[in-house]
Amino acid sequence: MEAKKDLKGKNKSISPTAMCTSANKVLRVKRILGRRFGKRCIRVLVKWQSYPVQENTWEPILNMGNCIQLVADMEARLFAKHRCLVDAA
């Protein structure tokens, strides 16, 4: 765990797998919801902690280095869903 200071200057313990840095801001990632393949890179759909669903964004997977466990969890969910569909057929 990594200690970060919140807005009041108090130390706050935040898991490094649930953080993403963007434009000099540290944002907490709640969940990775999906992925898509673009011309230049793979993007993942990010649900941000403390933000409404309308604020979900597609982010390049290369920016998700600190959140790689959440990306792996999303891939496992997609694999399990696909496997259930194949087994049912």
Domain ranges of the chain: 2-88
Listing DSSP states for 14-55 in one string gives E-GGGEEEETTEEEEEEEEEEEEE-SS-EEEEEEETTS-GGG
Q: For residue 15, name the pLDDT band (cuts at 50, 70, 90).
A: very low
Q: Which CATH architecture best describes the domain 2-88?
A: Beta Barrel (2.40)
Q: For residue 17, name the pLDDT band (cuts at 50, 70, 90).
A: very low
pLDDT, position 46: 93
- pTM beyond 0.75: the answer is no
Which comes out higher in pLDDT, residue 17 or 41?
41
Which segment, 5-14, 51-60, 80-89, is predicted with the most confidence on average? 51-60
Question: Which residues partner with 48 through β-bridges?
Answer: 29
| Averaged pLDDT score across all residues of the chain | 77
